[in-house]
Amino acid sequence: MPRHVVKHVNVMAMRTMTVRDIRLKWPEAERALAREGEIVVTRDSKPVARILPYEAPKRARRARFDPAAQGRWLARFWRGRDPGPSTDEWLRRDREA
């Protein structure tokens, strides 16, 4: 029966640092992270964490405010019902009281 050997190859180089090294040599760790893209943190020679560079989430650009579309939305929302006093009206009443 033939034996198949599977070897896992890590394409990206990664740096290993201890928890203490990270704490005491943060500037060096930060440079290593920028250079190598990943740091494996060890405690008692066992990996306990990975530090990866932060990537800001991609956010869709918000559409500009369209007063006409807002008016259409309000008309659909209220469907002919009386919306009642506006915020300005409530503030005026409150200040007069």
What's residue 59's pLDDT? Answer: 87
Is the pLDDT assigned to residue 71 strictly greater than 70?
Answer: yes
Please, how many CA atoms are within 13 Å of residue 20, restricted to the half-sphere of its CB? 3
Residue 25 located in a structural domain: yes
Residue 5 located in a structural domain: no
Average pLDDT over residues 3-12: 52
**Which domain, by its residues, includes 24?**
15-51
Read off the CATH number of the domain in which 23 is found.
3.40.1620
Residue 37 located in a structural domain: yes
Residue 85 located in a structural domain: no
Average pLDDT over residues 53-61: 88
Our count of domains for the chain comes to 1
Residue 64 located in a structural domain: no
Please, how many CA atoms are within 13 Å of residue 32, restricted to the half-sphere of its CB? 18
What's residue 97's pLDDT? Answer: 80
What's residue 13's pLDDT? Answer: 59
Is the pLDDT assigned to residue 10 strictly greater than 60?
Answer: no
Is the pLDDT assigned to residue 41 strictly greater than 90?
Answer: yes
Residue 40 located in a structural domain: yes
Number of residues that this document lists for the chain: 97
Tokens (6 digits) for 70: 């807002």
Average pLDDT over residues 40-45: 92
